[in-house]
A and B are shown apart, each in its own frame.
Chain A
């Protein structure tokens, strides 16, 4: 059997003003074919105004088993949030 066609991740921007969002993946021989396939597979009903395709092999992902070490500290550092600081009401909205 022939070689497997490479895998690409597809990101679509639904409309201007929003960021590109991952929507799935597909197989294509090169970037140009990947863009064409992404248009056919993921935007048949006006889902997008812009497409990015990225070779799946180019993505480095964080390890889910290190989720706690990676992301927990953001919850414990409450001084990073504005509500941590008491400001007298007389000062008004800040």
Chain B
């Protein structure tokens, strides 16, 4: 999903040829770049943007699922969903801390999210209407995220790669719990089956959009690939996702909402793969530009959380300063 973080990224950079060539040689030798190392401004800027938007996606991603915590159908499901949403918060924090090593402040990133300047994944601008949506999100949205994130574990920027390794370890539980919810519904009553099918119908196409525009329309892919920020193109990852996911859905009796979806034995250099229908890119850009069903709601929720939490942050700082001043006064008195 986080390849969307590269939309509109400016990879332009002004360093001299020798500097850029030396940097590229380090990248080509698979050396990791660490925060204090010299790096092209374009590399720094692209990473701040991508990691920041990835972090925002994790944080905003807590909202659609948080919507169902109080209404989870059993204690087991509630405990699992709570743990998953807490993980998403943790992932956001690992990523913010990785971005901060590049010289951007946390408050600056928060400000950009709340003002709408920074984006987050388009997928979180869709509503979670039924419990089955929690299953569909875990299975499809986290499944697509894993496809994107596994190659990011080998990203050339050390702190990002290390954060992604932690994230990927935790993400696998998310996908399995989602698929299990879908499977349970598909083994249930007709109404439950319908609910699962309806969730797939609504989440399938937005999940495919998570991988970002087609390679032919993706302007900054090349430079990001050269710098090994990205390892696979949007279309390659999308194809992998479709090939992995379709059999899983068919196994539990779901039908994909795409009449053009069909097995093509010649695809993927003869290994076979699925052909699939045309993605509605108008819908994608509509959502990315802020007009999806939930864009306003999501930002309003984040803004409320930030503003309502201000007195807590201020009080904690004031308390810390007071204790520090008292400790110093006691020290002087003792001398």
Contacts and interface: CB of A to CB of B under 8 A. Distances in A.
A45 B168 CA distance: 13
B100 A1 contact: no
A2 B94 contact: no
Chain A binding site: helix, strand, loop or mixed by DSSP? loop
Contact of B170 (A4, A5, A33, A45): A45
Interface string A56-93: 00000101110000000000000000000000000000
Given A41-B93, A63-B36, A30 B86 contact: no
Interface string B158-179: 0000110000011000000000
B87 A30 contact: no
Interface residues of A, number: 22
A89 B2 CA distance: 60
A5 B105 CA distance: 11
B95 to A, nearest CB: 10
Interface string B84-102: 0011001001100110110
A67 B37 CA distance: 10
Contact of B319 (A1, A30, A65): A30
Contact of B316 (A4, A33, A61): A33
B286 interface: no
Interface in A8-49: 24-30, 33, 40-41, 44-45
A30 B98 CA distance: 21
A41 B324 CA distance: 25
Nearest to B316: A29
A80 B101 CA distance: 36
Contacts of A44: 83, 86-87, 90, 170
Contacts of B86: 40, 44
B312 to A, nearest CB: 9
B105 A4 contact: yes
Contact of B107 (A1, A29, A30, A45): A1
A2 B313 contact: yes
B38 A64 contact: yes
User: What's the interface size class on B, roughly?
Assistant: 20 to 34
A29 B38 contact: no
A65 B39 CA distance: 12
B97 A25 contact: yes
A33 B312 CA distance: 12
Interface string B298-324: 000000000000100110110110011
Nearest to A37: B93
Contacts of A30: 316, 319-320, 323-324
B106 interface: yes
B34 interface: yes
Contacts of A29: 313, 316-317, 319-320
A7 interface: yes
A22 B284 CA distance: 40
B100 A7 contact: yes
Contacts of B320: 29-30, 33
Nearest to B169: A45
B322 to A, nearest CB: 10
Given A2-B313, A64-B38, A26 B93 contact: yes
Contacts of B38: 64-65
Contacts of A45: 169-170
A5 B317 contact: yes
Given A5-B316, A5-B317, A45-B170, A26 B90 contact: no
A25 B317 contact: no
A29 B324 CA distance: 11
B93 A64 contact: no
B269 to A, nearest CB: 38
7 contacts: A2-B317, A5-B317, A26-B93, A29-B313, A33-B316, A33-B320, A41-B93
